[in-house]
A and B are shown apart, each in its own frame.
Chain A
Amino acid sequence: MRRRTWVFLMVLILVPSLVLTLAGCGKSSTPNIAKIKKRGVLKVGVKADVIGFGYKNPATNQFEGLEIDLAKRIAKEMLGSENKVEFTAVTAKTRQGLLDNGEVDMVIATFTITEERKKVIDFSPVYYVDGIRLLVKKDSGIKSLADMDGKTIGVAKGADTQARLEAKAAELKVKPKFQAYETYPEILAALQAGRVQAFATDAAILKYYELQDKSTVILPDRYSDEEYGVATKKGNDDLRDFVAKVVNKLKDSGELKAMWEKWGLTSK
């Protein structure tokens, strides 16, 4: 290739990469409570397919669940009314991006607090503790993680399920394989197609899929503690502190426990 063409190509590739890298350093963005108040509505990312937490009821076309109630409560404390809140459906994969680019002010979507995530995102105090369980076909004969040596477990992209289960599996001296899919329904499809022998995620999420396919069953063992927190963008300290205050208030007053019971949930 001619020298000029090469130089042109290199510039074309390197300059954008350099610009993006430099833009990444030292940049901090600051949406904050005043901005939300000015806008007049709180934007929250929630799940749409997790019964009891964040679920878009097909009968009413409304979002409902523990996390919806929590979002409404935060909106009430911040803006004076439970109705000044706008929900956006998210998945484990998309929630970070939407938070980072400001599409949502916070994410309340069965988001487990982990040390790695704390490096790039802020969490509120824990508002619910769930655990990872396995969904398998009834006729597979699988009774627990110990039976999964050499078998494949389907997980969702963006979830911390694989890391948690790998640790647990190592303790049990078994070595399962993992495949990650974009959405939960795809994992169920993979289970039905025999591509994975177990569907693993938080127990609360699995319940919906067990109902969808009567030939499956959730195994009894719980493999980890999944602590859920409200996520806010790193750097939005005022937002983080405000949410922490609300969550702690609900915990101390017993209202949080009442909210769990309303949805038939039992936190660990």
Chain B
Amino acid sequence: MLFGPQAWLALFHDWRIFAGGLGQTVVASLLGLVLALILGTLLGVLGVTPVRPLRWVNRVYVEFFQNTPLVTQMFFYYYGLPRLGIVLPVLAVGVIGLGVYTGAYIAEIVRAGIQSIHRGQLEAAYSQGFTYGQAMRHIVLPQAFRIIMPPLTNQFVNLIKNSSVLSLIAGYDIMYQADAWSSYNLLYGVAYLTAALLYLALTLPTAYLARRLERRMQSTWGAAT
């Protein structure tokens, strides 16, 4: 039966398959997050520069990658790029796909965060001799970062869940392994329930750690003046 003891026994017998999927999801998510943070911060800052063409870059990037489905983007990298001669390994496809997509959301968060910092901070930095870039890096961004922690960690949780798209391009992540294993022996009930629990095992601690990090940053920086 769907959830009977035999099904669970079969699943525990093949635990390595699910462990492998978990490992792949963790790697793809972490690397994807790094890429997303880099792209998101860079492009978010671009969104507030006085240079109009650079702001356009931000607009185009954000609007395109936020408003097209992640699946479509992944399929393009996976099936489309090879037609142009670029064949990337599936993990690279996953990291790029997740990084660029989530980066668009992070760019918006970073932009909003920067804009919420009082202009006085920037002016004070200028008066101290900072250039725009230095002011951003040392004064504005650190303060903005503290403010945007909650929506940022939300994006990370979304990224972890979105990594399941890898299952559609034979990505060997949690969903792919659960899918392939269960479609072979038809025990899809226990497989998908376990997949869901594995994702929870990743997202719940992430949310918890993020809240702790948030609290710690508050005490380090003190109240904003």
A interface residue numbers (CB < 8 A to B): 1, 9, 13, 17, 20-21, 23-25, 27, 92-93, 96-97, 100, 116-117, 120-121, 157-158, 160, 162-163, 179-182, 189-190, 192-195
Instruction: Give the complex CA separation of A93 and B192 in angstroms.
Output: 14
Residue among A20, A96, A181, A194 making CB contact with B193, cutoff 8 Å: A20
Q: Is B180 an interface residue (CB 8 A)?
A: yes
Given A157-B180, A182-B168, A190-B79, verify A27-B1 contact (CB < 8 Å).
Answer: yes
Instruction: Give the complex CA separation of A100 and B189 in angstroms.
Output: 11
Nearest B-chain residue to A96, judged by Cβ: B186
Instruction: Establish whether residues B82 and A195, one from each chain, have CB atoms under 8 Å apart when the complex forms.
Output: yes
Instruction: Establish whether residues A20 and B200, one from each chain, have CB atoms under 8 Å apart when the complex forms.
Output: no
Instruction: Establish whether residues A157 and B82, one from each chain, have CB atoms under 8 Å apart when the complex forms.
Output: no
List the 4 shortest-distance A-B pairs measured between CB atoms, nearest first.
A24-B3, A193-B82, A158-B183, A179-B170
* Residues of chain B within 8 A of A157, CB atoms compared: 179-180, 183
Instruction: Establish whether residues B3 and A21, one from each chain, have CB atoms under 8 Å apart when the complex forms.
Output: yes
Instruction: Give the complex CA separation of A204 and B209 in angstroms.
Output: 53
Instruction: Establish whether residues A195 and B184, one from each chain, have CB atoms under 8 Å apart when the complex forms.
Output: no
- Near A by CB (< 8 A), chain B positions 51-91 give 78-79, 82-83, 87, 90
Q: Is B145 an interface residue (CB 8 A)?
A: no
* Residues of chain B within 8 A of A194, CB atoms compared: 82, 87
Instruction: Establish whether residues A24 and B168, one from each chain, have CB atoms under 8 Å apart when the complex forms.
Output: no
Instruction: Establish whether residues A195 and B87, one from each chain, have CB atoms under 8 Å apart when the complex forms.
Output: yes
B interface residue numbers (CB < 8 A to A): 1-5, 7-8, 78-79, 82-83, 87, 90, 168, 170, 176, 179-180, 183-189, 193, 197, 200, 204, 208
How many inter-chain contacts with C-beta < 8 Å in the A-B complex?
73
25 contacts between A and B (CB under 8 A): A1-B208, A13-B197, A13-B200, A17-B197, A21-B3, A24-B3, A24-B7, A92-B183, A93-B179, A96-B183, A116-B185, A116-B186, A120-B185, A120-B186, A158-B183, A162-B184, A179-B170, A180-B176, A180-B179, A180-B180, A182-B168, A193-B78, A194-B82, A195-B78, A195-B82
Instruction: Give the complex CA separation of A179 and B177 in angstroms.
Output: 11
User: How far is the CB of B83 from the nearest CB of chain A, in Å?
Assistant: 7
* Residues of chain A within 8 A of B8, CB atoms compared: 21
Instruction: Give the complex CA separation of A93 and B179 in angstroms.
Output: 9
Residue among B2, B90, B179, B186 making CB contact with A121, cutoff 8 Å: B186
Instruction: Give the complex CA separation of A193 and B85 in angstroms.
Output: 9
Told that A20-B3, A20-B193 touch, could you supply 10 new A-B pairs with CB distance under 8 A? A13-B200, A17-B193, A24-B1, A24-B2, A24-B3, A100-B2, A121-B186, A157-B179, A193-B79, A193-B83
* Residues of chain A within 8 A of B179, CB atoms compared: 93, 157, 180
* Residues of chain B within 8 A of A9, CB atoms compared: 204
Instruction: Give the complex CA separation of A157 and B175 in angstroms.
Output: 12
Instruction: Establish whether residues B180 and A20, one from each chain, have CB atoms under 8 Å apart when the complex forms.
Output: no
Instruction: Establish whether residues A20 and B183, one from each chain, have CB atoms under 8 Å apart when the complex forms.
Output: no
Instruction: Give the complex CA separation of A117 and B183 in angstroms.
Output: 10
Instruction: Establish whether residues A24 and B185, one from each chain, have CB atoms under 8 Å apart when the complex forms.
Output: no
Instruction: Give the complex CA separation of A150 and B185 in angstroms.
Output: 26
Residue among B185, B188, B204 making CB contact with A97, cutoff 8 Å: B188
* Residues of chain A within 8 A of B187, CB atoms compared: 120
Nearest B-chain residue to A158, judged by Cβ: B183
Instruction: Give the complex CA separation of A27 and B3 in angstroms.
Output: 10
Given A93-B183, A180-B170, A182-B168, verify A24-B79 contact (CB < 8 Å).
Answer: no
Instruction: Give the complex CA separation of A64 and B104 in angstroms.
Output: 47
Instruction: Establish whether residues A23 and B3, one from each chain, have CB atoms under 8 Å apart when the complex forms.
Output: yes
